[in-house]
Amino acid sequence: MICYYNHLVAPLLGLRFSIAKPFQPRAHNPMASDLSSDSSVFRGVSSSSPIRRRDLVFVVNPRGANGKTGIEWKKLLPYLQSRLGSDCNICESLTSGPSHAIDITREAIREGADAVIAVGGDGTLHEVVNGFFWDGKPVANQKTEAVHSTALGLIPLGTGSDFARTLGWKNDPCEAIERIAKGVRSRIDVGVISREGEGSHYFINVADIHLSAKAGYYASRYKKFGNLCYVIGALQAFIGHRNQDLRIKVNEGEWQTCSQVTALCVGNAKYFGGGMKITPNADPHSGSFEVVILQDFKWYDFLLKLHKLYNGTHLSVNNVTSRNVYTIEVDDISGSGNIFIQSDGEHLGFLPRKLSILPAAIEMIS
């Protein structure tokens, strides 16, 4: 069985959810903590049936990878339906703009979905992961008949996924569907980023600070050029760049100074920037981050050592340090307020920030 989830943003009214059959549309505030439970976004075999069908919500950004994700998804959908349709209710949910995947995920979890599957690259996965949390806590399933928590799934499409690389997964959607069909789960860690007076933000891959975050910010403007956008972003970020002294506090210890920091990367997983193995020892099942700090790098250091950054052998380079941590706080000594921070390629603003690991926070289809 397949159902289609059409999500449209109505000005001043929040999101309206509708399913072609057989579901009546209803509006709700996507930021509300409680949703009415008079109807479900899922329709299939009732809970009283002897065989329970799995409710799977596929979150797709059709504009991802310059529209390539939407095109590939349409080609994949018939195979997905034939492989999973006999055992699952397949709900397709197309995003309509930034943060929409967060709202879709929260709704699906509250409605008791077996899994929410991010279809596309790291940007969609990042939003879906953030949808697993609300107001600093995991989103709760409001359906009492659920037998287990909602799992996270991933089908890499378009330009692929740096997080999938960490798990050793190929950029092969058919292989991903086989994982979903088997339904094997394992718990993975999630990072949380906080700042006094602001809400928490979650990441599954890598958070980074200063030059690399600035490069990512500029690269987001050139997504139409594919992975070349990272090169363009880096070149633009180098213009006017200055290494900065930062203060860090590790595992709630004492503040210490890191001089002339070029980039500070906090890895829950290994890769970022389209395949750069920046935190090569990070493992999302380890219960800790790997923090890699590059200090006093010049522009020519990146040219000479770029191959080491991509293959993960840069930890032997002078002025590169690595450590495992559970929490790290980072602040700008100068107080300039212009040190960039991003997570999973999404710009978050500027320092200061605290980053903490949430061990085994989410079940993932693996």
Would you name the residues annotated as active-site residues? 122
Peptide bond into 22 cis (omega under 30): yes
Contact 253, 326 (CB under 8 A): no
What is d(CA 90, CA 3) in angstroms, rounded to the nearest whole number? 6
Angle at Cα 317 formed by Cα 312 and Cα 319, nearest 5°? 120
The closest of 229, 196, 242, 249 to 334, measured between CA atoms, is 242
What is d(CA 227, CA 205) in angstroms, rounded to the nearest whole number? 18
Contact 302, 280 (CB under 8 A): no
Instruction: Specify which residues 72 forms β-bridges with.
Output: none
Contact 42, 88 (CB under 8 A): no
Rg of the chain (C-alpha set): 21
Contact 31, 102 (CB under 8 A): no
Where does residue 253 fall: left (phi above 0), alpha (psi -120 to 50 degrees), or beta otherwise?
beta
What is d(CA 166, CA 269) in angstroms, rounded to the nearest whole number? 6
Q: In angstroms, what CA-CA distances link 236 with 65, 206, 228, 316?
A: 21, 21, 13, 27
Which residue is associated with the tokens 């009415």? Answer: 36
Residue 249 makes CB contacts below 8 A (sequence gap 6+) with 255, 256, 328, 329
| Max CA pair span of the chain | 66
